[in-house]
Amino acid sequence: MSPRKKPLAPKSTPVPPPCGTCAGSGETTTTVLVGRKRRQTTAVQTGLCPECFGTGTA
């Protein structure tokens, strides 16, 4: 009689850590600069994170 073997546990894929720059959202915000002296306004614009290119993972 052969010994019973345990069934293999399903392997989980490793989850990459979230990006430190965008905190996993994939977007970064910057203030809008206007004029020749580059004054800051109250407006804010969003764009893709330059570190993770919008994926949200590091």
Task: Give the pLDDT score at 37.
Answer: 93
Task: Judge if pTM exceeds 0.75.
Answer: no
Closest CA to 40 of 48, 32, 49: 32
Task: Give the pLDDT score at 32.
Answer: 92
Question: Residue 1 pLDDT > 70, yes or no?
Answer: no
Where does the chain show beta strands of DSSP type E? 27-34, 39-48
Looking only at the bridges linking them, the beta strands covering 39-48 and 27-34 are: antiparallel
Question: Residue 2 pLDDT > 90, yes or no?
Answer: no
Tens digits of per-residue pLDDT, 3-46? Answer: 788 888 788 888 888 888 888 888 999 999 999 999 999 999 99
